[in-house]
Amino acid sequence: MKLLDRLRAFSQKHAIENSESLSPLGAVIEDLYSATEGSINGRRTILVGTNNYLGLSFDNECINASHQATRNFGTGTTGSRLANGSYSSHQALEQELGEFFGLPQAIVFSTGYMANLGIISSLVSPGDTIVLDEHCHASIYDGCKLSGANIIHFRHNQAQDLEKRLRRLGEQAQHALIIVEGIYSMLGDRAALQELVAVKQKYDALMLIDEAHSLGVLGETGRGLAQEAGVEEHIDFITGTFSKSLAGIGGFCVSRHPELNIIRYASRPYIFTASPSPATIASTRAALSIIQNRPNLRHQLWENATTLYNGLQSMGYELGPEISPVIAIQVGPREEALSMWQKIFDRGVYVNLVLPPATPDSNCLLRCSVSAAHTRAQLDVVLDAFAYFQDKLPQQQLA
């Protein structure tokens, strides 16, 4: 098959069409009025699909820090840290991340995707084994593939299945890397971390947790699920992103192991990618400080998440298994999902349309991500938009 023919076949398989009808890729944000509202395709729209959990993208402290850094250091770094050198702000952010997590080692990457790609592919090699939850993010899967290691999946959130996989490895389990997430990005459920860590400890394996969607969301000081579950001392590597609660772009890894620093010289995604811009680093540092000093944002986030989850559940929608800032609504086949997404947009609400293969179990999802910045009035508009379909839900989906 020729290269372009392969792309055409992919387009037909996944029903990708070049048409004038609105789709998520064709939804153009022309203006933003706040962290939760903007203009999309000429329509004033409430944004419920941004992962902007604490609403910090319009926070004055973050914006002012970004402006000042641009004035002082320019718009970009124009190269990698290994080639061009580190800015003092890169080192300051790494130190502050380490202090925030209470860990001695931290590395900053250009994106959260690059953080998983770079860390996983450097930690393990061909002949090693990775055991990961089957619902892990694509960036984790791609890091595993890049490493060349043996990849074993265990059933989502099933500690017994994890133990079965490790038991079969025998002595090789001590050389395995277990990978889980804090909050899973599609269904919004937490990892069963205490049970999983108990298995990890029993077999003396290493564990990496991606706290991308749980940083700033869970834990007494916002460090994530490991803090909430009380198992931080047993986690070997924590990765995460700046593009969710920290309202920027970038990624990181922190660890108690001094070997983490060696990854700077071994990780191709770190070595050969331009380092984050001064503006991004500055706004991230400001946001990290806000997470620590404004716990009221986290409290408001959970109040909003509870309001939206309970409201959708009372209408009969089939949701993710627990209340979370990520609220996934199970919907019908692709055509029905796209139609429903379009009608919700027509009512002034933007949510994420998530289609296979990005979804677990090949289901189509309408995915909401709640923000602390959403007002009750905005959440009521969102619930009204979904209420339009209440009498059209399949009978088996009704509560």
Does residue 397 have a pLDDT over 60? no
Task: List beta partners, residue 150.
Answer: 129
Q: pLDDT tens digits for 68-101?
A: 999 999 999 999 998 999 999 999 999 999 999 9
More confident residue, 335 or 268: 268
The pair of three-digit structure tokens given for residue 160, joined into one six-digit string: 């017994």
Q: What is the H or E stretch that residue 391 is in?
A: none
Measured between alpha carbons, how far is 278 from 284 in angstroms, rounded to an integer? 10
Any idea how long the chain is?
A: 399
Predicted confidence (pLDDT) at residue 399 exceeds the cutoff of 60: no
pLDDT (tens digit per residue) in 134-176: 999 999 999 999 999 999 999 999 999 999 999 999 999 999 9
Q: Cα–Cα distance between 275 and 155 in angstroms, integer?
A: 36
- Supply 290's token pair: 């806000």
DSSP string, 311-356: HHHHTT--B-SS--SEEEEEE-SHHHHHHHHHHHHHTTEE-EEE-T
175 by Cβ neighbours in 10 Å (0-12 / 13-18 / 19+) ranks as middle
Helix (H, G, I), strand (E, B) or coil at 251: strand
Name the 3-class secondary structure at 237. Answer: strand
Amino acid at position 303, single letter: E
pLDDT at res. 125: 94
Asked if residue 124 lies in contact with residue 115, where contact means CB atoms within 8 angstroms, the answer is no
Fold of 60-293: Aspartate Aminotransferase; domain 2 (3.40.640)
- The tokens for 36 are 């939760």
Q: Are 189 and 159 in contact (CB under 8 A)?
A: no
Least confident of 247-251, 264-268, 279-283, 391-395: 391-395
When pLDDT is averaged across residues 361-389 and rounded to a whole number, the result is 94
* Integer Cα distance of 61 and 71 in angstroms: 16
How many Å separate Cα 117 from the centre of its chain?
A: 14
Residue 187 structure tokens: 């269904």
Question: Domain residue spans in the chain?
Answer: 10-47+295-397, 60-293
pLDDT for 393 equals 57
Please give the pLDDT value at position 14.
61
In this structure, the strands spanning 176-181 and 129-133 are parallel
Give the residue-averaged pLDDT of 291-301.
98
Q: Do 106 and 98 contact (CB within 8 A), yes or no?
A: yes
Return phi, psi of residue 204, to 5°. Answer: 55, 40
Query: Would you place residue 15 in the very low, low, confident or very high pLDDT band (cuts 50, 70, 90)?
Result: low
Q: What is the DSSP letter of 20?
A: S
- CA 11, 15, 19, 20 dihedral sign is negative
Q: What is the pTM of this model?
A: 0.93
d(CA 98, CA 93): 9
**Percentage above 90 pLDDT, the chain:** 84
* Distance (Å) of CA 154 to CA 158, 225, 253, 260, 318: 7, 20, 23, 26, 25
Tens digits of residue pLDDT in 195-234: 999 999 999 999 999 999 999 999 999 999 999 999 999 9
Using an 8 Å Cβ cutoff, are 318 and 330 in contact? yes
Residue 32, amino acid:
L
Enumerate residues 6+ apart whose C-beta is below 8 A from 199: 159, 162, 163, 166
What's residue 390's pLDDT?
75
At residue 366, φ and ψ (nearest 5 deg) are: -105, 115
Q: Which residue has the tokens 């064709």?
A: 26
Please give the order of strands across the beta sheet that includes 349-350: 29-34, 37-40, 43-47, 349-350
For residue 343, give both structure tokens: 């009608």
Q: Which two tokens stand for residue 29?
A: 């944000």
Query: CA–CA separation, 60 vs 195, rounded Å?
Result: 41
CATH class of 10-47+295-397: alpha beta
